[in-house]
């Protein structure tokens, strides 16, 4: 395993050939308290400076507060960034989705969202949501759309809807501790050349404190968090989106992009965190 200081970020391509960095910036739990706002904005600006130009947010995060943090970070730099936001399932209807999108656009202070996701499956029929997303795309409010927290069964149902094949991505909980998507979901997406976005790639910080993972990482001159992030990035179609609110952690995450896993380290990780042997319900936070 080797690591250099700051290699260019590998990119991942969507079906329309648009490329984004394989490591982006998460914002879950940002925008919740005013005293943290300046630090959170600074962290996102620093990530943008390091070419981590994909920023993931949602109307749910901080009740819209995270989108406002993103807007402040992107002031004067909107065209450098690829914005991902998400709509609540109960706001994903024919009339409610356009209204929710407008609210997100206002908070983000932008005229378009690069990737708009259904946050998780809900009670509104998928066909209705897809039609609403298609209309938003036709209107230029969003550039492309996708889903989040969809298992393989839900992805098949989505694909069966009219225009369901336009889905650009599926964002799921995926990390060393939660490897369930590897059994059938990742292969399903790979077969359609559909990138998967891995949220909580360090398992809300738990993997950074994992004793055995930390020991393996230290033996290779990196941190446990960096090893966990590099592991998610080993798949050419996976985009990892760690959330960091400090400049030092953003730097630490960014350096993980230069880490190359050897077969020996990969085998040791498989021992510590065994891959799935069968299908299981999709984990989510």
**61 among known catalytic residues:** yes
- Active-site residue (options: 61, 116, 174, 199): 61
Whole-angstrom Cα distance, residue 70 to residue 55? 8
Question: Is the Cβ–Cβ distance between 85 and 113 less than 8 Å?
Answer: yes
DSSP assignment of the chain: -B--S-PPPPEEE-TTS-EEESB-EE-TTTTS-GGGHHHHHHHHHHHHHTT--EEE--SSGGGGHHHHHHHHHTTTTGGG-EEEEEE-GGG-STTHHHHHHHHHHHHHTSS-BSEEEE-S--SS-HHHHHHHHHHHHHTTSBS-EEEES--HHHHHHHHHSTTGGG---EEEE-BTTB-GGGTTHHHHHHTTT--EEEESTTTTTTGGG-HHHHHHHHHTTS-HHHHHHHHHTTSTTEEE--B--SHHHHHHHHHGGG-B--HHHHHHHHHHSPPPSS--PPP--
User: Which residues, including other chains, have CB under 8 Å from residue 29's CB and lie 6 or more apart?
Assistant: 61, 62, 66, 243
Tell me whether residue 211 is exposed, middle or buried, using C-beta atoms within 10 angstroms of its C-beta: 0 to 12, 13 to 18, 19 or more: exposed
What are the catalytic residues?
61
């Amino acid at each position: 395993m080797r690591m250099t200081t700051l290699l260019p970020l590998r990119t991942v391509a969507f079906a329309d050939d648009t490329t984004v960095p394989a490591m982006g910036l998460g914002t879950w739990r940002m925008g919740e308290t005013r005293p943290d706002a300046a630090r959170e904005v600074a962290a996102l600006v620093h990530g943008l400076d390091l070419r981590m130009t994909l920023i993931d947010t949602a109307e749910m995060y901080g009740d819209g507060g995270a989108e406002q943090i993103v807007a402040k970070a992107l002031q004067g730099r909107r065209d450098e960034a690829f914005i991902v936001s998400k709509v609540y399932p109960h706001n994903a209807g024919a009339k409610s989705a356009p209204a929710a999108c407008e609210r997100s656009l206002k908070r983000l202070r932008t005229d378009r969202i690069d990737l708009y996701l259904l946050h998780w499956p809900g009670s509104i029929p998928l066909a209705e949501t897809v039609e609403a997303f298609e209309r938003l795309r036709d209107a230029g409010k969003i550039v492309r759309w996708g889903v989040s927290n969809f298992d393989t069964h839900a992805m098949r149902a989505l694909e069966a809807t009219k225009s369901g094949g336009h889905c650009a991505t599926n964002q799921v909980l995926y990390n060393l501790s939660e490897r369930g998507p590897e059994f059938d979901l990742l292969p399903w997406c790979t077969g359609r050349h559909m990138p998967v976005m891995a949220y909580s790639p360090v398992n809300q910080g738990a993997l950074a404190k994992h004793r055995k993972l930390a020991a393996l990482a230290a033996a290779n001159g990196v941190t446990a968090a960096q090893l966990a992030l590099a592991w998610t990035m080993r798949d050419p179609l996976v985009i990892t989106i760690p959330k960091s609110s400090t400049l030092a952690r953003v730097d630490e995450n960014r350096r993980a992009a230069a880490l190359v896993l050897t077969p020996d380290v990969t085998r040791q990780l498989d021992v510590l965190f065994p891959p799935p042997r069968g299908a299981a319900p999709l984990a989510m936070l």
